[in-house]
Amino acid sequence: MRQQNKKPVIEVKNLSARFGSNIVFEDVSFDVYQGEVLVIVGESGCGKSTLLKIMIGLQKPYAGRVFYEGRDIISASETLLKEYRQNIGVLFQSGALFSSMTLKENIALPLQTYTDLAQDKITQIVKMKLGMVNLEGYDDHYPAELSGGMRKRAGIARAMALDPHVLFLDELSAGLDPVTAVGLDDLIIKTNEALGTTMVIVTHELESIYKIAHRVLMLDKQAGGIIAQGTPAQLKGHMDDPRVKSFFLRQLPPAPAHQRFYDHK
């Protein structure tokens, strides 16, 4: 699904993933466009998180390529891979914060690893990122002292520490109460619109999908790949496929789809 006059920042070409003789998916191809929020959905076991890990560079595919700004990260050297990781931010389902480190230490870690910034500059950036996710004053708190929603927000702050061009989020709202989940959705929209950050998000939450997604890509375990892609409204109307229908008609969306990316760009 190529969008006219839009530049792909990530290109996935003929990607296949296997674990032994088990085929997770085969021949998956799609683009991620500059400034869009792409949401990946599908039933458990269809390969959503595996796809995300391959795109991040944490896992090698069985076959295929992933290009970031025209450079292949699958066969990339360690130097190029390090450069790529400086341009992306990642939030896994658990939040992946280090429990023995305070929030400021967690957020400072990528800055200390990938930059030569002085400590006072790192401290300034940490405070700014905590403010961005409404966690001012929690610098010295440990993850165990925070609620689930606060840990997710702290994870986003750490993922945004290097001002990444692309943000990868795995099951952002999993295990959170509805009010907290809505707050995270609002944060995603604000970040995307204010900074133009490209986002690739794995979720199964319909309310989030309709609210944050510019485009949705649906994987299917039996098909071993993509069975549908488009805006949330387009997929909701894609009723000729019972798999798509069963996913998008679990409940009615609470609000119209967040479509401003394609309406105004």
Q: What is the CATH number of domain 34-57+87-264?
A: 3.40.50.300
**What is the model's pLDDT at position 262?**
56
Helix, strand, or coil (residue 71): strand
Name the pairing type of β-strands 71-72 and 225-230. Answer: unpaired
Q: Distance between CA 111 and CA 121 in Å, rounded?
A: 10
Q: Distance between CA 120 and CA 76 in Å, rounded?
A: 33
Selection from 105, 203, 120 nearest residue 161 by Cα: 105
Q: Distance between CA 210 and CA 248 in Å, rounded?
A: 10
Residues 6+ apart with CB under 8 A from 239: 245
- For residues 47-69, one letter each, b for 16 or more C-beta atoms within 10 angstroms of the residue's C-beta and e for the rest, the string is bbbbbbbbbbbeeebeebebbbe
Neighbours of 202 (CB within 10 A): 21
The tens digit of pLDDT for each residue in 70-127 reads 999 999 998 998 889 889 999 887 667 899 999 999 999 999 988 999 999 999 999 9
| Mean per-residue pLDDT, 118-140 | 94
More confident residue, 243 or 257: 243
More confident residue, 220 or 253: 220
- Predicted TM-score of the model (pTM): 0.87
The tens digit of pLDDT for each residue in 29-54 reads 999 999 999 999 998 889 999 999 99
| Mean per-residue pLDDT, 165-170 | 94
Q: How far is CA 207 from CA 72, 123, 160, 204, 232, in A?
A: 34, 36, 24, 9, 11
Place of tokens 């066969």: 75
